[in-house]
A and B are shown apart, each in its own frame.
Chain A
Protein backbone atom coordinates (compact mmCIF):
# COMPACT_ATOMS: atom_id res chain seq x y z
CA UNK A 1 0.00 0.00 0.00
CA UNK A 2 1.27 3.49 -0.80
CA UNK A 3 1.96 5.99 1.96
CA UNK A 4 -0.94 8.31 2.77
CA UNK A 5 -0.28 11.92 1.76
CA UNK A 6 -2.13 14.71 3.52
CA UNK A 7 -3.55 17.34 1.15
CA UNK A 8 -1.58 20.13 2.86
CA UNK A 9 1.21 18.10 4.43
CA UNK A 10 -0.07 18.62 7.97
CA UNK A 11 -0.39 22.41 7.90
CA UNK A 12 -1.26 24.28 11.07
CA UNK A 13 -1.93 27.81 12.25
CA UNK A 14 -2.40 29.38 15.63
CA UNK A 15 -4.68 32.36 16.15
CA UNK A 16 -8.02 32.70 17.90
CA UNK A 17 -8.06 28.94 17.67
CA UNK A 18 -5.43 26.45 16.63
CA UNK A 19 -6.20 25.14 13.16
CA UNK A 20 -4.39 21.95 12.29
CA UNK A 21 -4.83 19.56 9.47
CA UNK A 22 -5.92 16.26 10.94
CA UNK A 23 -4.99 12.87 9.72
CA UNK A 24 -4.40 10.74 7.88
CA UNK A 25 -7.71 9.22 8.94
CA UNK A 26 -9.66 6.30 7.55
CA UNK A 27 -13.04 7.26 6.09
CA UNK A 28 -15.68 4.86 4.87
CA UNK A 29 -18.89 5.97 3.22
CA UNK A 30 -21.78 3.70 4.04
CA UNK A 31 -25.15 3.90 2.31
CA UNK A 32 -28.19 1.84 3.08
CA UNK A 33 -31.38 1.71 5.08
CA UNK A 34 -30.26 2.99 8.48
CA UNK A 35 -33.43 1.78 10.19
CA UNK A 36 -32.80 -1.84 9.17
CA UNK A 37 -31.91 -4.15 12.07
CA UNK A 38 -29.30 -5.94 9.97
CA UNK A 39 -27.55 -2.65 9.19
CA UNK A 40 -27.65 -1.50 12.81
CA UNK A 41 -26.20 -4.80 14.00
CA UNK A 42 -23.46 -4.83 11.36
CA UNK A 43 -22.37 -1.25 12.08
CA UNK A 44 -22.28 -1.97 15.81
CA UNK A 45 -20.38 -5.17 15.25
CA UNK A 46 -17.78 -3.75 12.91
CA UNK A 47 -17.18 -0.30 14.42
CA UNK A 48 -18.23 -0.88 18.03
CA UNK A 49 -20.47 2.19 17.71
CA UNK A 50 -24.22 2.53 17.43
CA UNK A 51 -25.87 3.96 14.34
CA UNK A 52 -26.20 7.64 15.27
CA UNK A 53 -29.53 9.43 15.38
CA UNK A 54 -30.51 12.34 13.16
CA UNK A 55 -27.52 14.73 12.77
CA UNK A 56 -25.52 12.99 15.48
CA UNK A 57 -22.10 11.48 15.90
CA UNK A 58 -21.55 8.34 17.91
CA UNK A 59 -18.10 7.65 19.24
CA UNK A 60 -15.05 9.79 19.93
CA UNK A 61 -12.80 11.78 17.65
CA UNK A 62 -10.71 8.86 16.41
CA UNK A 63 -13.31 6.20 15.78
CA UNK A 64 -16.84 7.39 15.22
CA UNK A 65 -19.90 7.06 13.04
CA UNK A 66 -21.27 10.27 11.57
CA UNK A 67 -24.82 10.80 10.32
CA UNK A 68 -24.52 12.30 6.84
CA UNK A 69 -28.04 12.00 5.43
CA UNK A 70 -31.10 9.77 6.01
CA UNK A 71 -29.37 6.95 4.13
CA UNK A 72 -25.70 7.72 4.54
CA UNK A 73 -23.10 7.34 7.28
CA UNK A 74 -19.43 8.27 7.39
CA UNK A 75 -17.31 5.90 9.44
CA UNK A 76 -14.09 7.36 10.80
CA UNK A 77 -11.29 5.00 11.83
CA UNK A 78 -7.53 4.60 11.60
CA UNK A 79 -6.20 5.06 8.07
CA UNK A 80 -4.98 1.47 7.82
CA UNK A 81 -8.22 0.01 9.15
CA UNK A 82 -10.57 1.44 6.51
CA UNK A 83 -10.04 -1.40 4.02
CA UNK A 84 -10.80 -4.03 6.65
CA UNK A 85 -13.90 -2.15 7.72
CA UNK A 86 -15.24 -2.17 4.16
CA UNK A 87 -14.54 -5.89 3.78
CA UNK A 88 -16.20 -6.71 7.11
CA UNK A 89 -19.30 -4.65 6.34
CA UNK A 90 -19.62 -6.02 2.82
CA UNK A 91 -19.33 -9.58 4.12
CA UNK A 92 -21.77 -9.11 7.00
CA UNK A 93 -24.35 -7.40 4.82
CA UNK A 94 -24.11 -9.67 1.80
CA UNK A 95 -27.51 -9.76 0.12
CA UNK A 96 -28.63 -6.46 1.68
CA UNK A 97 -29.02 -3.35 -0.48
CA UNK A 98 -26.07 -1.44 0.96
CA UNK A 99 -22.79 0.09 -0.14
CA UNK A 100 -19.53 0.60 1.74
CA UNK A 101 -16.59 2.33 0.09
CA UNK A 102 -13.18 3.38 1.36
CA UNK A 103 -12.97 7.13 0.72
CA UNK A 104 -10.08 7.89 3.08
CA UNK A 105 -8.30 10.09 0.55
CA UNK A 106 -11.41 11.91 -0.64
CA UNK A 107 -11.70 14.39 2.19
CA UNK A 108 -9.48 16.66 4.22
CA UNK A 109 -10.03 17.10 7.94
CA UNK A 110 -9.11 19.96 10.24
CA UNK A 111 -9.10 20.19 14.02
CA UNK A 112 -9.98 23.51 15.56
CA UNK A 113 -9.05 23.95 19.19
CA UNK A 114 -9.59 26.93 21.46
CA UNK A 115 -12.31 28.69 23.39
CA UNK A 116 -13.29 30.73 20.32
CA UNK A 117 -14.13 27.67 18.25
CA UNK A 118 -17.86 28.50 17.98
CA UNK A 119 -17.08 32.03 16.98
CA UNK A 120 -14.68 31.00 14.26
CA UNK A 121 -17.15 28.54 12.73
CA UNK A 122 -20.02 30.97 13.20
CA UNK A 123 -18.33 33.46 10.88
CA UNK A 124 -18.38 30.97 8.04
CA UNK A 125 -21.51 28.84 8.32
CA UNK A 126 -25.23 29.73 8.35
CA UNK A 127 -25.62 27.72 11.54
CA UNK A 128 -26.76 28.65 15.04
CA UNK A 129 -23.75 27.70 17.17
CA UNK A 130 -25.23 28.78 20.50
CA UNK A 131 -23.95 26.39 23.21
CA UNK A 132 -27.55 25.56 24.08
CA UNK A 133 -28.43 24.67 20.48
CA UNK A 134 -25.34 23.06 18.97
CA UNK A 135 -23.75 20.68 21.44
CA UNK A 136 -20.89 18.17 21.27
CA UNK A 137 -22.11 15.00 19.58
CA UNK A 138 -24.11 16.85 16.93
CA UNK A 139 -22.93 17.10 13.35
CA UNK A 140 -23.87 19.70 10.78
CA UNK A 141 -23.30 19.42 7.07
CA UNK A 142 -23.42 22.87 5.63
CA UNK A 143 -21.21 25.28 3.75
CA UNK A 144 -18.19 27.18 5.06
CA UNK A 145 -18.06 30.36 2.98
CA UNK A 146 -18.27 29.07 -0.59
CA UNK A 147 -17.67 25.34 -0.24
CA UNK A 148 -19.64 22.41 1.13
CA UNK A 149 -18.29 21.16 4.44
CA UNK A 150 -19.33 19.59 7.69
CA UNK A 151 -18.26 19.83 11.28
CA UNK A 152 -18.94 18.46 14.72
CA UNK A 153 -17.79 19.35 18.19
CA UNK A 154 -15.63 16.87 20.08
CA UNK A 155 -16.01 19.00 23.19
CA UNK A 156 -16.84 22.62 23.99
CA UNK A 157 -13.48 23.82 22.68
CA UNK A 158 -12.64 21.37 19.93
CA UNK A 159 -14.26 20.97 16.53
CA UNK A 160 -13.46 18.77 13.58
CA UNK A 161 -14.17 20.12 10.11
CA UNK A 162 -14.26 18.02 6.96
CA UNK A 163 -14.39 19.07 3.33
CA UNK A 164 -13.43 17.64 -0.02
CA UNK A 165 -9.72 17.27 -0.63
CA UNK A 166 -9.90 19.45 -3.73
CA UNK A 167 -10.92 22.47 -1.64
CA UNK A 168 -8.59 21.81 1.30
CA UNK A 169 -6.29 24.72 0.53
CA UNK A 170 -9.23 27.11 0.26
CA UNK A 171 -10.58 25.74 3.53
CA UNK A 172 -7.29 26.14 5.37
CA UNK A 173 -6.87 29.73 4.15
CA UNK A 174 -10.44 30.42 5.16
CA UNK A 175 -9.97 29.01 8.66
CA UNK A 176 -6.75 30.99 9.01
CA UNK A 177 -8.49 34.20 8.00
CA UNK A 178 -11.38 33.85 10.44
CA UNK A 179 -9.09 32.89 13.30
CA UNK A 180 -6.87 35.95 12.86
CA UNK A 181 -6.11 37.18 16.41
CA UNK A 182 -7.35 40.67 15.46
CA UNK A 183 -10.72 39.41 14.28
CA UNK A 184 -12.45 38.40 17.52
CA UNK A 185 -16.13 39.26 17.60
CA UNK A 186 -17.04 38.02 21.06
CA UNK A 187 -20.51 36.82 20.16
CA UNK A 188 -20.32 33.28 21.58
CA UNK A 189 -17.29 33.77 23.80
CA UNK A 190 -16.13 37.04 25.34
Chain B
Protein backbone atom coordinates (compact mmCIF):
# COMPACT_ATOMS: atom_id res chain seq x y z
CA UNK B 1 0.00 0.00 0.00
CA UNK B 2 1.16 3.50 -0.81
CA UNK B 3 2.09 5.47 2.32
CA UNK B 4 2.85 9.19 2.06
CA UNK B 5 3.88 11.54 4.82
CA UNK B 6 1.66 14.61 4.88
CA UNK B 7 4.03 17.60 5.00
CA UNK B 8 1.44 19.65 6.93
CA UNK B 9 0.45 17.38 9.80
CA UNK B 10 3.35 14.93 9.69
CA UNK B 11 1.11 11.88 9.63
CA UNK B 12 2.29 8.82 7.73
CA UNK B 13 -0.97 8.55 5.84
CA UNK B 14 -1.87 5.43 3.94
CA UNK B 15 -3.68 5.51 0.64
CA UNK B 16 -7.12 5.20 2.22
CA UNK B 17 -6.67 8.55 3.98
CA UNK B 18 -5.63 10.28 0.76
CA UNK B 19 -7.20 11.44 -2.45
CA UNK B 20 -5.20 11.46 -5.67
CA UNK B 21 -5.11 14.81 -7.44
CA UNK B 22 -3.36 13.94 -10.69
CA UNK B 23 -0.18 15.31 -12.14
CA UNK B 24 1.73 18.05 -10.30
CA UNK B 25 3.06 21.39 -11.50
CA UNK B 26 0.68 21.86 -14.43
CA UNK B 27 0.81 25.40 -15.74
CA UNK B 28 -2.55 26.79 -16.67
CA UNK B 29 -3.13 28.32 -20.10
CA UNK B 30 -6.42 30.19 -20.19
CA UNK B 31 -7.93 32.99 -22.25
CA UNK B 32 -5.42 34.57 -24.63
CA UNK B 33 -3.30 31.46 -25.03
CA UNK B 34 -2.84 29.62 -28.32
CA UNK B 35 -4.83 26.51 -29.18
CA UNK B 36 -1.69 24.36 -28.85
CA UNK B 37 -0.94 25.74 -25.39
CA UNK B 38 -4.50 25.19 -24.22
CA UNK B 39 -4.60 21.68 -25.66
CA UNK B 40 -1.37 20.83 -23.86
CA UNK B 41 -2.68 22.23 -20.60
CA UNK B 42 -6.02 20.50 -20.92
CA UNK B 43 -5.02 17.09 -22.26
CA UNK B 44 -1.24 16.65 -22.26
CA UNK B 45 -0.21 14.49 -19.32
CA UNK B 46 2.90 12.55 -18.49
CA UNK B 47 2.52 8.80 -18.14
CA UNK B 48 5.97 7.75 -17.00
CA UNK B 49 7.25 4.35 -16.03
CA UNK B 50 9.51 5.66 -13.32
CA UNK B 51 9.82 9.02 -11.60
CA UNK B 52 6.54 10.89 -11.34
CA UNK B 53 5.34 14.01 -9.53
CA UNK B 54 1.77 14.06 -8.28
CA UNK B 55 -0.70 16.07 -6.24
CA UNK B 56 -2.41 14.40 -3.31
CA UNK B 57 -4.89 15.59 -0.74
CA UNK B 58 -4.93 14.43 2.87
CA UNK B 59 -8.71 14.24 2.66
CA UNK B 60 -9.39 12.07 5.71
CA UNK B 61 -7.04 14.11 7.83
CA UNK B 62 -5.93 17.71 7.89
CA UNK B 63 -7.51 18.29 4.47
CA UNK B 64 -4.47 19.88 2.86
CA UNK B 65 -3.20 19.44 -0.69
CA UNK B 66 0.45 18.49 -1.10
CA UNK B 67 2.92 17.16 -3.64
CA UNK B 68 4.60 13.77 -3.79
CA UNK B 69 7.43 12.35 -5.89
CA UNK B 70 7.43 8.61 -6.42
CA UNK B 71 8.42 5.87 -8.82
CA UNK B 72 5.38 4.46 -10.62
CA UNK B 73 7.30 1.30 -11.38
CA UNK B 74 8.69 0.32 -7.99
CA UNK B 75 6.27 2.38 -5.86
CA UNK B 76 9.26 3.89 -4.08
CA UNK B 77 8.34 7.25 -2.55
CA UNK B 78 11.12 9.82 -2.90
CA UNK B 79 9.45 12.43 -0.78
CA UNK B 80 6.54 14.79 -0.24
CA UNK B 81 6.51 18.57 -0.17
CA UNK B 82 4.05 21.38 0.35
CA UNK B 83 1.71 22.76 -2.27
CA UNK B 84 3.09 26.31 -1.96
CA UNK B 85 5.54 25.82 -4.81
CA UNK B 86 5.47 25.50 -8.59
CA UNK B 87 8.64 23.41 -8.81
CA UNK B 88 9.96 20.42 -6.87
CA UNK B 89 12.49 21.42 -4.18
CA UNK B 90 16.12 21.17 -5.25
CA UNK B 91 17.17 18.79 -2.45
CA UNK B 92 14.47 16.35 -3.48
CA UNK B 93 15.55 16.54 -7.13
CA UNK B 94 19.16 15.89 -6.07
CA UNK B 95 18.04 12.84 -4.13
CA UNK B 96 16.10 11.52 -7.13
CA UNK B 97 19.08 12.14 -9.47
CA UNK B 98 21.13 10.06 -7.07
CA UNK B 99 18.70 7.16 -7.12
CA UNK B 100 17.58 7.39 -10.77
CA UNK B 101 20.53 8.85 -12.74
CA UNK B 102 19.41 10.55 -15.95
CA UNK B 103 15.71 10.69 -15.08
CA UNK B 104 13.63 13.20 -17.00
CA UNK B 105 10.13 14.45 -16.16
CA UNK B 106 8.83 17.42 -18.16
CA UNK B 107 11.48 20.14 -17.73
CA UNK B 108 12.98 18.56 -14.61
CA UNK B 109 15.91 16.17 -14.78
Contact = CB atoms under 8 A, between A and B. Distances in A.
Contact of B64 (A54, A70, A142, A148): A70
Contact of A148 (B11, B13, B14, B59): B59
Interface string A10-40: 0000000000000000000000000000000
B21 interface: no
B48 interface: no
A143 B63 contact: no
B16 A70 contact: no
Contacts of A55: 9-11
Q: Which of A54, A140, A141, A148 counts the most B-chain CB atoms under 10 A from its CB?
A: A141
Give chain A's interface residue range (CB within 8 Å of chain B). Answer: 10 to 19
A69 interface: yes
B60 A68 contact: no
Interface residues of B, number: 14
A16 to B, nearest CB: 23
B73 to A, nearest CB: 25
A142 B60 contact: yes
Interface string B28-64: 0000000000000000000000000000000111111
B9 A148 contact: no
Q: Is the interface of B mostly helix, strand, loop or mixed?
A: loop
B68 to A, nearest CB: 17
A143 B64 contact: no
Interface in A119-146: 126, 140-143
A55 B6 CA distance: 12
Contacts of B11: 55, 140, 142
Interface string B59-94: 111111000000000000000000000000000000
A54 B59 contact: no
A142 B17 contact: yes
B105 interface: no
B8 interface: yes
Contact of B14 (A54, A126, A140): A126
Nearest to A140: B11
25 contacts: A54-B9, A55-B9, A68-B62, A69-B8, A69-B9, A69-B63, A70-B8, A70-B9, A70-B62, A70-B64, A126-B14, A126-B16, A126-B17, A140-B11, A141-B9, A141-B60, A141-B61, A141-B62, A142-B11, A142-B17, A142-B61, A143-B16, A143-B60, A148-B59, A148-B60
Interface of B: 8-11, 13-14, 16-17, 59-64
The 4 closest A-B CB pairs, nearest first, are: A69-B62, A143-B60, A126-B14, A148-B60
